[in-house]
Amino acid sequence: MQNSATPTHCPYCALQCGMNLTPAPDGTVEVSERADFPVNRGALCGKGRTAPAVLSSRVRLTSPLVRSEGTLVPASWDEALDRIAEGLSRTRAEHGPDACGVFGGGGLTNEKAYTLGKFARVVLGTSQIDYNGRFCMSSAAAAGMKAFGLDRGLPFPLEDIPKTGCVILVGSNLAETMPPSLRFFSELRENGGTLIVVDPRRTKTADQADLHLAPRPGTDLALALGLLHLVVAEGRVDEAYVQERTAGWEDARAAAMAHWPEHVERITGVSVPQLREAVRLFCEPEAAMVLTARGPEQQSKGTDTVGAWINLCLATGRAGRPLSGYGCLTGQGNGQGGREHGQKADQLPGYRKLTDPAARRHVAEVWGVDPDSLPGPGRSAYELLDALGTDIRSLLLMGSNPVVSAPRAAHIEERLRSLDFLAVADVVLSETAALADVVLPVTQWAEETGTTTNLEGRVLLRKRAITPPAGVRSDLEVLNGLAGRLGVEKGFPTDPEEVFEELRRASAGGPADYSGITYPRLAEENGVFWPCPEAPEDGEDASLDAPADDPVRDAAGAAHPGTPRLFLDRFATEDGRARFVAVSHRAAAEEPDDEYPVLLTTGRVVAQYQSGAQTRRVDELNAAAPGPFVELHPRLAERLGAAEGDPVAVVSRRGRAVAPARITSGIRPDTVFMPFHWPGEGRANTLTNPALDPTSRMPEFKACAVRVEAVQE
Ligand SMILES: Nc1nc2c(c(=O)[nH]1)N[C@H]1C(S)=C(S)[C@@H](COP(=O)(O)OP(=O)(O)OC[C@H]3O[C@@H](n4cnc5c(=O)[nH]c(N)nc54)[C@H](O)[C@@H]3O)O[C@H]1N2
Ligand SMILES: Nc1nc2c(c(=O)[nH]1)N[C@H]1C(S)=C(S)[C@@H](COP(=O)(O)OP(=O)(O)OC[C@H]3O[C@@H](n4cnc5c(=O)[nH]c(N)nc54)[C@H](O)[C@@H]3O)O[C@H]1N2
Ligand code: SF4
Ligand SMILES: [Mo]
């Protein structure tokens, strides 16, 4: 066991802040500042600082549990793994391989996500695998793929932000969701740049802005089109850039011209002078950026919405140029890597497509299987959860807590209960694990080594700093144990570096190429940005496995330096041009009416993380954020006769939730907001609408129609 400080990274969000961990006498670790990591330069939020509390055996699982006469009781690892293998085998024998489902998470390391995808396709032979990242940034990923031919959250390092001229931050509350990153935006303003925040609420982030636009939830598409209309009307299009580096402008332009500013004002509630001011701030400086987060993305039209914001960047020549570009602020610790290596329904490692014959051949060869044995694409996350108990009879779940985090959660909870067999691997007894037939206690961040890829596309080595307690095993050991029991002895190593070596080969030549990255290199450098292809061996012709003008391939010779900045010479499309999309505004899947006259939107608070499975077990964080609430405008509160702290009921077509009122003039009077971190009576997802984006299959977490009622105590 190590005694000195280990430089590593936080278990939670996509910033993957650097921290030092030193083993403490009680077996946990102490967190201390690690100033050398450029993303956070030592700064941590409260969640990162208190993360070791979840290592304590007082709050975590330390023994496998199996259901016996209705209750979960401790069992040996052999018994637990045998039961899971039996459960999955029985389902496969009775209903076929596609009746076995697998659900993963964007918090899993690259090694785990890769192995989980391989396990589903090779061991279970099922097409039914997806993960919680579908609920996160899938709309931005789909839009980025369409426009640029590649999806990497940020196409530049965060360090570029202070040097640009203007940033439009659309639906991100990073002052609460990524606090150490706020520094980049303060520095931007100190350097004379401007910040525009688009959010229906005056958040802590909006407080920092030069201009705050507060649209009705679900109207970002109209807003972006209105801005583009003004860009054209005011003669601010960069014609030479559009000519040289893009395709599809005429149709996109025509679509935007149909969105008159006055019309956009009526849809969004953002005034025409504010629209004009935003265009001026965005267009006047030499360089500018648009960054989106969950606000515009978690909509049933999230892909088109992000596409419209990308259009704005393309029309003004603000993509693929230094200090300019569009980026998505990915959310989970490995939100980026977790979407690249095959736990997604339609995907193979290296961000390859499961439907591409060449991709299938390449990966099947690495896996030592027949390409024809690989199943095709399966259902998306919500559709998979919705099929539990009907088409899907058994589920293996790793790294998500859908009882709290899935839309229309009461229905999903009921689907989980209707399964023939549910196995959950988790570090704590989450609300979802509590429903399982078998629960496996797994190691967590400080106790195991693995790589994550942060929101900048920077691949990082998260190093083990302490010895895990007896009784827990890693997710890789779990998958190895299950594979063996299901008749696949080889190909499921338990050493993360060995898995990474295989991942390198599987990703080689793919869009997210990690083949030039190694553990020793990651330990030495502060992360490496993908794509990072392996330098060809002496005498080998680099052009053999890459198109001659492939932007990601370096000349033969020295180790590839990685790619901090994408698209500077060309976009990753076949012809190197970015694609405009011709999109028009449309309403949310559920708009307010007489019965449900108010819009509900949902999101986060700084002291809790996601479903709260981990952070609700930390005293300091619970003291700061003890429970759910309903944020509402004083006018709405007055109409209800509700005072601060009074319980109010929020009712949608899916159900009813009750939480204390939090009254603020910082929210639109036609909108209420609830954070989604809690189960039970105040569960926001009891209310949310699982209407899906047609392309990304992202549910509409950010807009549904509700009625708000006073509750008699
Ligand atoms: N403290 C904390 N930090 C986290 C997380 C956490 O759970 N807690 N989770 C991590 C993860 S996985 C993610 S994905 C990120 C998410 O990070 P963010 O996207 O910043 O988080 P959210 O609070 O979901 O949404 C951001 C803002 O969108 C606004 N919004 C709501 N509806 C709309 C709309 O229709 N249009 C626009 N423009 N804005 C709208 C909300 O008011 C909210 O302020 O955070 C990461 N960091
Ligand atoms: N209403 C509403 N709902 C939302 C959102 C919203 O904005 N509004 N946001 C959505 C978004 S962006 C996201 S990302 C999802 C997230 O929601 P979830 O998918 O529920 O994410 P977590 O709460 O992080 O769940 C991770 C679980 O895995 C466990 N875990 C952590 N690390 C590991 C590991 O290494 N191995 C294993 N086996 N388990 C581990 C944790 O203890 C926890 O129980 O929620 C979505 N739901
Ligand atoms: S901002 Fe994110 S990565 Fe940084 S300490 Fe907080 S939770 Fe961890
Ligand atoms: Mo997320």
pLDDT tens-digit map of 86-115: 999 999 999 999 999 999 999 999 999 999
Separation between Cα atoms, residue 299 and residue 574, nearest integer Å: 29
Q: Locate the domains of the chain by residue range.
A: 6-55, 65-135+337-512, 138-328, 598-710
Report yes or no: 338 and 105 within 8 Å, Cβ to Cβ. yes
Query: Which residue positions in the chain have pLDDT lower than 70?
Result: 1-3, 537-557, 713
Q: Which ligand is nearest to the CA of 600?
A: 1
* Distance (Å) from CA 404 to ligand 2 centroid: 9
Long-range contacts of 679-684 (CB under 8 A, 24+ apart): 679/403, 679/404, 679/431, 679/611, 679/612, 681/657, 682/627, 682/628, 682/629, 682/657, 682/658, 683/404, 683/409, 683/628, 683/657, 684/600, 684/602, 684/628, 684/657
* Distance (Å) from CA 177 to ligand 1 centroid: 7
**Contact 610 CB / ligand 2 (< 6 Å):** yes
Helices and strands (DSSP H and E) totals, the chain: 22, 30
By most ligand atoms within 8 Å of CB, the mutation choice from 8, 31, 44, 329 for ligand 3 is 44
Helix (H, G, I), strand (E, B) or coil at 8: strand
* Residue ranges near ligand 4 (ion) with Cβ within 5 Å: 136, 331
**pLDDT value at position 28?**
79
Report yes or no: 673 and 631 within 8 Å, Cβ to Cβ. yes
b/e 209-224 (16+ beta carbons within 10 angstroms → b): bebbbbbbbbbbbbbb
Separation between Cα atoms, residue 210 and residue 168, nearest integer Å: 10
Work out the end-to-end distance of the chain between its first and last CA atoms, rounded to an integer number of angstroms: 55
**Contact 688 CB / ligand 2 (< 6 Å):** yes
Separation between Cα atoms, residue 573 and residue 579, nearest integer Å: 8
**pLDDT value at position 444?**
96
**pLDDT value at position 545?**
46
Separation between Cα atoms, residue 340 and residue 17, nearest integer Å: 21
By most ligand atoms within 8 Å of CB, the mutation choice from 227, 604, 614 for ligand 1 is 604
Say what the pTM is: 0.96
**Contact 15 CB / ligand 3 (< 6 Å):** yes
**pLDDT value at position 547?**
43
* Distance (Å) from CA 107 to ligand 2 centroid: 7
Separation between Cα atoms, residue 122 and residue 133, nearest integer Å: 22
Separation between Cα atoms, residue 310 and residue 297, nearest integer Å: 13
| CA 150 to each of CA 140, 507, 574, 576, 579: distance values in angstroms, whole numbers, following the listed order | 11, 14, 11, 11, 12
Report yes or no: 631 and 675 within 8 Å, Cβ to Cβ. no
Cα 339 to chain centroid, rounded: 8
**Contact 138 CB / ligand 2 (< 6 Å):** no
**Contact 13 CB / ligand 3 (< 6 Å):** yes
Sign, CA torsion 402/407/410/414: negative
What is the phi-psi region of residue 712: left when phi exceeds 0, alpha when psi lies from -120 to 50, beta otherwise? beta
Structure token pair of residue 106: 């964007």
Separation between Cα atoms, residue 601 and residue 201, nearest integer Å: 10
Q: Which ligand is nearest to the CA of 172?
A: 1
In the CATH hierarchy, which top-level class contains the domain 65-135+337-512? alpha beta
- Integer-rounded Cα Rg, in Å, for the chain is 24
Separation between Cα atoms, residue 1 and residue 348, nearest integer Å: 36
Q: Which ligand is nearest to the CA of 424?
A: 2
Report yes or no: 682 and 628 within 8 Å, Cβ to Cβ. yes
CATH superfamily of 6-55: ADC-like domains (2.20.25.90)
Q: In the 8-state DSSP scheme, what is residue 667?
A: B
**pLDDT value at position 504?**
98
**Contact 682 CB / ligand 2 (< 6 Å):** no
Q: Which atom of ligand 3 is nearest to the CA of 40?
A: 4
Neighbours of 532 (CB within 10 A): 26
Separation between Cα atoms, residue 211 and residue 277, nearest integer Å: 8
**pLDDT value at position 558?**
82
**Contact 45 CB / ligand 3 (< 6 Å):** yes
By most ligand atoms within 8 Å of CB, the mutation choice from 176, 427, 432, 706 for ligand 2 is 427
* Distance (Å) from CA 185 to ligand 1 centroid: 17
- 138-328 has which fold? Dimethylsulfoxide Reductase; domain 2 (3.40.228)
Q: Which atom of ligand 3 is nearest to the CA of 9?
A: 3
* Distance (Å) from CA 615 to ligand 3 centroid: 12
Pairing of strands 100-104, 699-700: unpaired
One-letter-per-residue 3-state SS of 56-107? CCCCCCCCCEEEECCEEEECCHHHHHHHHHHHHHHHHHHHCHHHEEEEECCC
Separation between Cα atoms, residue 62 and residue 342, nearest integer Å: 29
* Distance (Å) from CA 296 to ligand 3 centroid: 22
Nearest one of 92, 125, 36 to 524, comparing CA atoms: 36
> 6-55 with 65-135+337-512: one CATH topology?
no
**Contact 426 CB / ligand 2 (< 6 Å):** yes
Q: In the 8-state DSSP scheme, what is residue 52?
A: G
* Distance (Å) from CA 133 to ligand 4 centroid: 6
* Distance (Å) from CA 49 to ligand 3 centroid: 8
What is the phi-psi region of residue 125: left when phi exceeds 0, alpha when psi lies from -120 to 50, beta otherwise? left
Q: Which ligand is nearest to the CA of 426?
A: 2
Cis peptide preceding 531, ω within 30 of 0: yes
Q: Which residue's CA is the closest to the ligand 2 atom numbered 12?
A: 136
**pLDDT value at position 25?**
82
In the CATH hierarchy, which top-level class contains the domain 598-710? mainly beta
**Contact 278 CB / ligand 2 (< 6 Å):** no
